[in-house]
Amino acid sequence: MIKAIKGAKDLFYEGITPWHELEETVRNVFENFNYSEIRTPVFEETRLFSRSIGEETDIVSKEMYTFTDKSGLSITLRPEMTASVVRAFIEHSLGKKFNLNKLYYISPMFRQERPQAGRLRQFHQFGAEAIGSGSPVLDVEMIILANEILQTLGLKNLSVKINSLGTPAERENYREILREYLKPNFTNLSETSKIRFEKNVLRIFDSKDERDQAIVEEAPKLLDYLGEESLSLFEEVKTLLKEAGVKFEIDSKLVRGLDYYTHTTFEIISGSVGSQNALCGGGRYDLLAEQLGGTATPGVGFAAGMERILLACKNEGIELGKQGNVKLYIIRLEKELKNKAFELALFFRKKGIKTELDYLNRSVKAQMREANRISAEYALILGGEEFQRNEVVLKNMTDGSQQNVSLANPEVVLTKISK
Ligand code: HAM
């Protein structure tokens, strides 16, 4: 049997309805903050991602779905959206259209990671990017946006973590300081961290290995090596967050797994899911547009993992996407009335009534059983003597009461069931 790819999921029936409510909530909040939707292709030239996310990151070096198309072009299924949004921003000269572009997305992403709860190979993110301003107000707006969506869903067990990664020069200087600090302990580091020591030393902070964690616990902090300008930006972010009443922690180990960040980074963590507890992450990327060949334009954004959010909701007992039952089930007594039943169903559907009928040539008893099984609120019974008199029987499935209604005026049924 051919099955779906490991780490990629089919969604249907009660599995899809929570997504609808989540997507609706996301759209409402983004629209209220005046963000406009952007959709970009699911695949891009591979070099877009290697250039922006960084060659040495786990995403680019290990996790991308990359293939060569028939023209010999290296193509990658997008592992994230920021690179694509900035590419589109440059390609369509959006900076000339608006000084500030506030964009949002709800889209599938692809990373070949080891699947586990909250970690998939095809997963979905919603996120926002504001391109065109270096104002820390936008850094804070991103955190508030993400928080607002999570809180609107009813999530409680959340903590906001923030950090600043400063400028590339400040980070480079700090990398050397960190390497000096780690050198005496090099042999005690995990194999992954030994590799990261050379290639991407800051990522040692992300290690889940307990020995690594003990070693970096006392490491010098990047925040202590930032220049005045970076520090004052960070101060402003903290002040604005306090003024907005957002509780946060400063986490100097929050380095993020993508290379394009400058200054503010943040994550929102849930205490209600397992080890994959970052519901969202983001930060500022003031040099990315220029790195991708555009004019220098500052930007800031975030993305949230929708599977993780739904898992957190489930674990906190939040039921999303409860569906209304079928309002009206049309039962026909004689088989010859099947076309009339269909015609009536179309009439009520057009009036906005969720209506169902039999398509399987079921017996009358089986139709009644089906109406009960799907918890239809009313049944409209068509046939017999009543039909000869141009009447139908409307049955209330909850209390069993029934009444005859003239078929000449189906609007009457409408008023009775809409009460
Ligand atoms: P990221 O931290 O790589 O950032 O991903 C953001 C969120 O996507 C994570 O916090 C997590 O909830 C979810 N996520 C990531 N990988 C997976 C996976 N394999 N399975 C399920 N969920 C996952 C970015 O993607 C940046 N583009 C965020 C950003 C936007 N920064 C600035 N603008």
As for how many domains the chain has, the answer is 2
105-123 mean pLDDT: 97
144 and 17 share one domain: yes
Please indicate whether residue 294, judged by its CB atom, sits closer than 6 Å to ligand 1: no
State which residues form the domain around 341: 328-417
Domain final residue pick, 263, 290, 315: 315
The CATH number of residue 303's host domain is 3.30.930.10
Shortest-distance atom of ligand 1 to CA 125: 8
Q: What is the pLDDT of residues 233-290, one digit of tens each?
A: 999 999 999 999 999 999 999 999 999 999 999 999 999 999 999 999 999 999 999 9
pTM of the model: 0.95
The residue count for the chain: 419
How many A from CA of 12 to the centre of ligand 1? 24
Instruction: Note the pLDDT of residue 323.
Output: 86
Average pLDDT of the segment spanning 105-111: 98
Q: Answer whether residue 318 shows pLDDT above 80.
A: yes
Give domain status of residue 186, yes or no: no
Q: Is residue 203 part of a domain?
A: no
**Nearest C-alpha to atom 12 of ligand 1 is from which residue?**
305
Of the residues 315, 349, 374, the one at which a domain ends: 315
Q: What is the pLDDT of residue 305?
A: 98
Summarize pLDDT for 42-97 with one digit per residue, the tens: 999 999 999 999 998 999 999 999 999 999 999 999 999 999 999 999 999 999 99
Q: What local confidence, expressed as pLDDT, does residue 159 receive?
A: 98
Q: What percent of the chain has pLDDT over 70?
A: 100
Q: What is the pLDDT of residue 125?
A: 98
Measured from the Cα of 284, ligand 1's closest atom is 32
Choosing from 284, 315, 346, the residue where a domain stops is 315
CA of 115, closest atom in ligand 1? 19
Is pLDDT of 115 > 90? yes
Cα of 182 vs centre of ligand 1, distance in Å, is 28
**Residue nearest atom 16 of ligand 1, based on CA coordinates:** 119
Q: Are residues 146 and 289 in the same domain?
A: yes
Mean pLDDT for the stretch of residues 19-24: 98
Protein residue with its CA nearest to atom 25 in ligand 1? 80
Centre of ligand 1 to C-alpha 355, Å, is 40
pLDDT tens-digit map of 158-206: 999 999 999 999 999 999 999 999 999 999 999 999 999 988 899 999 8
pLDDT for the residue 367: 98
Question: Which pLDDT belongs to residue 264?
Answer: 98
Q: What is the pLDDT of residue 254?
A: 95
Pocket test for ligand 1, best of 80, 126, 263, 302 (most atoms within 8 A of CB): 80
Q: What confidence score (pLDDT) does residue 123 get?
A: 98
Shared domain check, 342 and 283: no
**Banded pLDDT at 208 (limits 50, 70, 90):** confident
What pLDDT shows up at residue 226? 97
pLDDT at 375 over 90: yes
Q: Per the domain annotation, does 196 fall within a domain? A: no
On whether both 269 and 351 belong to a single domain, the answer is no
Q: For a substitution probing ligand 1, which of 38, 308, 310 has the most ligand atoms within 8 Å of its CB?
A: 308
Q: Does the C-beta of 82 come closer than 6 Å to ligand 1?
A: yes
Residue % of the chain over a pLDDT of 90: 95
> How remote is the CA of residue 305 from the centroid of ligand 1, in Å?
6
Scan for tokens 């991708």, then name that residue: 292
- When the pLDDT of each residue in the chain is averaged and rounded to a whole number, the result is 96
Residue 371 in domain: yes
Distance 137 CA to ligand 1 centre (A): 22
Q: What's the average model confidence in pLDDT over 101-119? A: 97
Q: What is the pLDDT of residues 298-317, one digit of tens each?
A: 999 999 999 999 999 999 99
How far, in Å, from the CA of 356 to the mean position of ligand 1? 41
Under the banding of pLDDT at 50, 70 and 90, the label for residue 419 is confident
**From ligand 1's centre to the CA of 127, what distance in Å?**
9
How many Å lie between the centroid of ligand 1 and the Cα of residue 281?
6
**How far, in Å, from the CA of 200 to the mean position of ligand 1?**
19
Q: For residue 256, give the ligand 1 atom closest to its CA.
A: 2
**7 in any annotated domain:** no
Indicate whether 232 belongs to any domain.
Answer: yes
